[in-house]
Amino acid sequence: MKRILILLLTILIIGCTTETPKEYSLLKYAPQNAAVILQIQDFESFQSELKNNQLLKSFKQPKFKQDFNAFVTYVKYIQPNSKSLLCFNELGKNSFEYTFVTKTHPNLIQLDSLHKATTENIAYEGNEIIKTTLGDHVNYTFLADSIFVNSSSQLLIENCIRSYKKVIIPEPLKKVYATIDESKSATLLATPKHLSPLLKKIFPNADTKFVTTFGEQMALDVSILQDEISFTGIITANDSLSHSLSSLKNTTPREHKIAKVIPRFFDHFTSITFDEYKKFHPETKNSLLDALEEVCSFSFNNGTFTALRFISPSNEAITQLTTNTEHNTVRNVKVYENEDPELFKNHFTPFISDFGNDFYIVLDEYIVFSDRDNLRNLAMLIGLYKDEQTLSSQKSYQEALQNLSDESSLVSFVNTDSFKKTFAESTKKTYQKEILSINVDDYPFAALQFTNEKGSNYAHVHGILKRNTAKPTENTVTQFLNVVLDNPAITNPQFVKNHITKRREIVVQDAQNILYLISTKGKVLWKKQLDGKILGDLSQIDLYKNGRLQLAVTTPQSFYVFDRKGTEVKPYPTKATLAYTQPVAIFDYDNSKNYRFVFTEGNKVVMRDKKGKEVTGFKFSGSENEFINPPQHFRVKTKDYIVLQESNGKLHILSRTGKSRITAKENIQFSDNQVYIHNNLFTTSDRNGNLIQVDSKGQIQKTKLPVEENHDVTMTSKTLVSFFENKLRIKDKTVELDFGSYSKPKIFYIKNKIYVSITDKDAQKVYVYDSNAKLLPGFPAFGTSEIDLENLDKDAKLEFVTKGENKTILVYKLN
């Protein structure tokens, strides 16, 4: 919060007020010790810029803007034709008053006929103060030497009368005032020690004390374009007052490269650079930091991390730290336990104080530290770095950098979307809802940069909030989510629908049989302990026919149904008599949501209704042999068929009542593959690599496939996919893959397109092909399991989920 509060405040003030440059005479009338002075070059032009900025236009008269306008209500009736000042001063604890200064002219005040003002003259030390009452608001005006001074405080006007003829402009203010760019619409002048109380007023729930010692005086030229709010200027520091920026005085700025290890879904980061560490902290003697060029604090997933970047991977610090105790290994990267917590303590003040350093990793020339609570996130970071899925690879970040200097002393970035909640919580409760509703999708980053002038007591400042026009690189696959579970995943992650948002979420089970529901923001929504490993995939049902979906889950012992919040739906769970040997099959014959649950225990089959009661009209009770796959339901034209595969090769094709509807003319030496409807025939394969098709009369047709025993087949009504050894065949086209251990191929039919996926579990590569056996651009991608492919959100791009290494779940977007 501290590192970007100045930036946020500036943007907020820009969005609500008015200011501009270079008339020394006006400053003589400005109250002393003002927290902020906004100097406005052209009042009308500046108001127009505010009205035409796309982001500000999206605000629908927010409460904070209404409150501000009510506070300075009289200002909107003032029509300056030259430069003007809008000043804010603290008078009494947490109480602020404004002062407006400009040159007077005949049409300066423009009150409309609907607003009746009453005035009263007050004599003060031989001068006249005009007290104006407008509705519930009172303000005071003083005119002298063609200068109009108006304030919400009589005391500030009285101070002005006493001092304007003998006022001396402070040297720090003169210094920054001389740098003002008069071509800009406004300039913000601020003294950090006086600014801090104003920040506290606006952000009552934030710590603003750090601002006091940041610098001495600053002048920021403001630019407001349709798609951009930015400022440039300088901030001075004073060695004797121990200002934070003074520590960078003797350093030379360097290029910031730390984004190479920061996740793209970060919250914020602050990075400082220097040519030599000893120039930054001359009193600290630590040879391990001789080759250090950059240090950064960043946060993501509610964790904070500290990263150090050295000139190269070959240096004393990395050599020494890689001899410490290894905690574990992730993606061939060692995670070390820190054996000396005091090693870098207080080495990076005042910008980074104490930081969690229980564990660390070494990624080429980078060392990243974390505390014990963020060990999982540290593992996630390794995967993102390995897959080049960090901030530096994002086009939106690369575009943002084009608006900043190549080299700087300090840079701070805020992810506006993830930080919006923190920003809202720092303000008054009455403002929080409207701040949370702001759409910042087109404004992904706010950036603040300080570039120190070596040997001087000032730094150049640049801040920007700009509409992003960069589009993700086409034909790429980018990882945007990496979730670490408590234990390794034992099921393939699967997408399920959130019936409230209409978007997708992730379900997966870990090695302790805990079932997770995870949002596509990476938040674990709930966890449920199950009594065994899930059989097959999970299903979603609508038991109450009201659009609210439940999750149906089978373990060998139980059949569970969970609602949206993870609560068990009665009368479930139900228990197996002995043990379920197949996932419960769920049939919805007429899409009426009158579900039938078909339970398989070895060679026994039982059908139950959605209340858990046995359906007595279903007469098929089982066979002498076990079933090798779950029961299946097919609708062919107007008829329903229930299909079961017996281990002895008998194929049962039943009616809804369990009576035989089609009798296959002979037994089939089933492979492990299920039955499909392909070209209007019941289709599967046998152990010898034959395609087996059964027609409506039970006649069996065999066609030799280009496979042998231990093959996989999957199909849709028109597309047949087979896999044997290293050959993936899609329709009539064959792709030769590297030899390895592969998952079963899967077919996805999305928006009239066929996609075929397969994963090399040894090489940890995910492949996705189109219906013509052409590998999609960006593949293979890293992954260790079967994938689930879906469109998670409102854009047209698909996403897929897979297992990563160890305990991780990965989600990718196809651009």
pLDDT digit string (tens) for 369-383?
999 999 888 988 998
Residue type for position 815: N
Whether 652 contacts 620, CB under 8 Å: yes
Closest CA to 627 of 578, 670, 687: 670
Rounded Cα gap, residues 683 and 675, in angstroms: 5
Closest CA to 732 of 691, 773, 774: 773
Whether 533 contacts 510, CB under 8 Å: no
DSSP state of 491: S
Which residue bears the tokens 């700087």?
Answer: 408
Q: What is the crossing angle of helices 2-16 and 192-202, to 10°?
A: 80
Q: What is the crossing angle of helices 63-71 and 2-16, to 10°?
A: 60
Residue type for position 306: T
Residue type for position 800: F
Whether 399 contacts 470, CB under 8 Å: yes
Rounded Cα gap, residues 521 and 287, in angstroms: 41
Residue type for position 647: S
pLDDT at 18: 37
Whether 794 contacts 493, CB under 8 Å: no
Hey, what are 90's tokens?
Answer: 């603290």
Rounded Cα gap, residues 729 and 462, in angstroms: 57
- CB atoms inside a 10 Å sphere around CB 494: 19
DSSP state of 622: B
Rounded Cα gap, residues 326 and 313, in angstroms: 19
DSSP 3-state assignment of 517?
strand
pLDDT digit string (tens) for 577-595?
999 999 999 999 989 999 9
Hey, what are 67's tokens?
Answer: 């409150």
Hey, what are 423's tokens?
Answer: 């920003």
- Give Cβ neighbours of residue 345 (< 8 Å, ≥ 6 apart): 354
Closest CA to 661 of 627, 628, 698: 698
Whether 593 contacts 544, CB under 8 Å: no
Rounded Cα gap, residues 506 and 369, in angstroms: 29
Rounded Cα gap, residues 647 and 538, in angstroms: 24
Whether 447 contacts 464, CB under 8 Å: yes
Rounded Cα gap, residues 586 and 607, in angstroms: 10
- Give Cβ neighbours of residue 449 (< 8 Å, ≥ 6 apart): 404, 405, 408, 410, 411, 412, 461, 462, 463
Instruction: From residue 806, give the alpha-carbon distance in Å to each of 487, 786, 803.
Output: 8, 15, 8
Closest CA to 208 of 416, 3, 36, 446: 3
Instruction: From residue 807, give the alpha-carbon distance in Å to each of 247, 383, 461, 584, 615.
Output: 42, 11, 43, 27, 41
- Give Cβ neighbours of residue 559 (< 8 Å, ≥ 6 apart): 552, 553, 572, 573, 574, 576, 580, 584, 597, 599
Whether 581 contacts 627, CB under 8 Å: yes
Closest CA to 213 of 189, 246, 187: 246
pLDDT at 63: 67
- CB atoms inside a 10 Å sphere around CB 726: 13
Q: CA 638 from chain center: how many Å? A: 48
Hey, what are 667's tokens?
Answer: 């037994």
pLDDT at 114: 54
pLDDT digit string (tens) for 184-225?
889 999 988 888 888 888 788 877 777 877 888 899 999 888
Rounded Cα gap, residues 799 and 792, in angstroms: 6
Cα atoms in the Cβ-side hemisphere of radius 13 Å centred on 282:
7
Whether 337 contacts 284, CB under 8 Å: no
Q: What are the residue ranges in the chain where pLDDT is below 50?
A: 1-23
**85: β partners:** 39, 101
Whether 744 contacts 721, CB under 8 Å: no
Task: Give pTM, 2 decimals.
Answer: 0.71
Q: For the chain, how many helices (H) and strands (E)?
A: 14, 53
pLDDT digit string (tens) for 254-275?
999 999 999 988 999 999 999 9
pLDDT digit string (tens) for 233-247?
999 888 766 788 888
